[in-house]
Amino acid sequence: MRVFYMRNLDVVIYVAMRIALSSSPFIFDAEDKIMTKTELQLVLQDALPTIKLAGAFMEAEQAKVTSEQVEDKALNSLVSYVDKQTEMMLVEGLQKILPSATFITEEETVKNQASTSTWIIDPLDGTTNYLHGLPHFATSVGLLYENELVLGIIYNPVSRECFTAIRNEGAYLNGQRIKVSRAANFRSSLFVTGFPFDDKERVEKNLEVVKYVKQHSRGIRRFGSAALDLAFVAAGRFEAYFEGGINAWDVSAGILLVREAGGIVTDYQGAADCLFSGEVVAANPNIHAELLDVVQRNYYV
């Protein structure tokens, strides 16, 4: 395994070395170095096999998980050995690519802390779907560099749909460029949301937003995976997504995907710095302002 220190290497020379050593994974020393487009593309390239291997494991295990192997972390928050094992596989593989990076993960199989480079991981987003045999779940992996989201990957191992984004380089589905919907207003829009399960007041406020959206749009869906909800907004399948009571690992990759696909993402107060806010409003540019206004009227007035 070769480790390349990029500080004094010209990118052209580096790329030639990378091609010559294509059988070895790319390992990047991120300290005191701005990650370039080329470097991020190589990080993405080498992260995908680990993520897809973890996805294959999840898919193979879905029919094997028994109720005795499921833990209740909190009300309606479930975890199984699959979540934990998948996370350990991801951490091990990603650590080899960026040895100096730290992790923020849902299952805390590794010490959670932020640094210059931080992987943000939800190994199995949509655990309840997964445990009920539904084919709607995904792995979400985001990379935070100098407090900016620079890379995002969402992978559904059942559909084999792999959504990827690099900052300022667009969003992709299985290598094909994707864009948010061009729908001009609520009347022509389909929405998706999730419901907070541990805050009665927030649930009631969310239902008021749902009521408005239902009455003024083509409809609203609740699919049970924040990561895939955001990926579907990026792909133009939904016009907008909103949810509160969520965590950074649920939305890190999805936030970048929507933005790179031309959408707008904020928290409920309209701030773009929403990764750790616990709230997300993501939509195409034509309807984001109206949706945000509806959310604010029900949450803050």
Q: In the chain, where are the structural domains located?
A: 11-169, 186-299
Q: What is the pLDDT of residue 109?
A: 86
Q: At what angle do helices 200-216 and 288-299 cross, to 10 degrees?
A: 140
Q: Which token pair is 180?
A: 């948010």
- On whether the CB atoms of residues 230 and 200 are closer than 8 A, the answer is no
- Report the alpha-carbon angle 178-179-184, nearest 5: 155
pTM: 0.87
Burial 218-247, CB ≥16 within 10 A → b, else e: eebeebbbbbbbbbbbbbbbbbbbbbbbbe
Q: What is the pLDDT of residue 167?
A: 97
Q: What is the pLDDT of residues 283-298, one digit of tens each?
A: 999 999 999 999 999 9
Gyration radius of the chain's alpha carbons:
19
Q: What confidence score (pLDDT) does residue 68 get?
A: 63
Fold of 11-169: Fructose-1,6-Bisphosphatase; Chain A, domain 1 (3.30.540)
DSSP-based three-state secondary structure for 24: coil
Q: What share of the chain is helix, strand, coil (3-state, %, to 5)?
A: 40, 25, 40
| Domain at 186-299: CATH code | 3.40.190.80
Task: Kindly list the distances between the CA atom of residue 82 and the CA atoms of 54, 64, 73, 262, in Å, as whole numbers in the listed order.
Answer: 10, 10, 14, 34
- Residue-level pLDDT at 146: 94
Q: Give the model's pLDDT for residue 71.
A: 59
With a cut of 50, list the residues of the chain below it in pLDDT: 1-24, 30, 32, 74-78
pLDDT of residue 5: 35
pLDDT (0 to 100) of residue 67: 58
pLDDT value at residue 200: 73
Q: What is the pLDDT of residues 36-61, one digit of tens each?
A: 999 999 999 999 999 999 999 999 98
- pLDDT, tens digit, for every residue of 100-132? 999 999 888 888 988 999 999 999 999 889 988
Report the mean per-residue pLDDT for the chain. 87
- How far apart are alpha carbons 61 and 176 in whole angstroms? 29
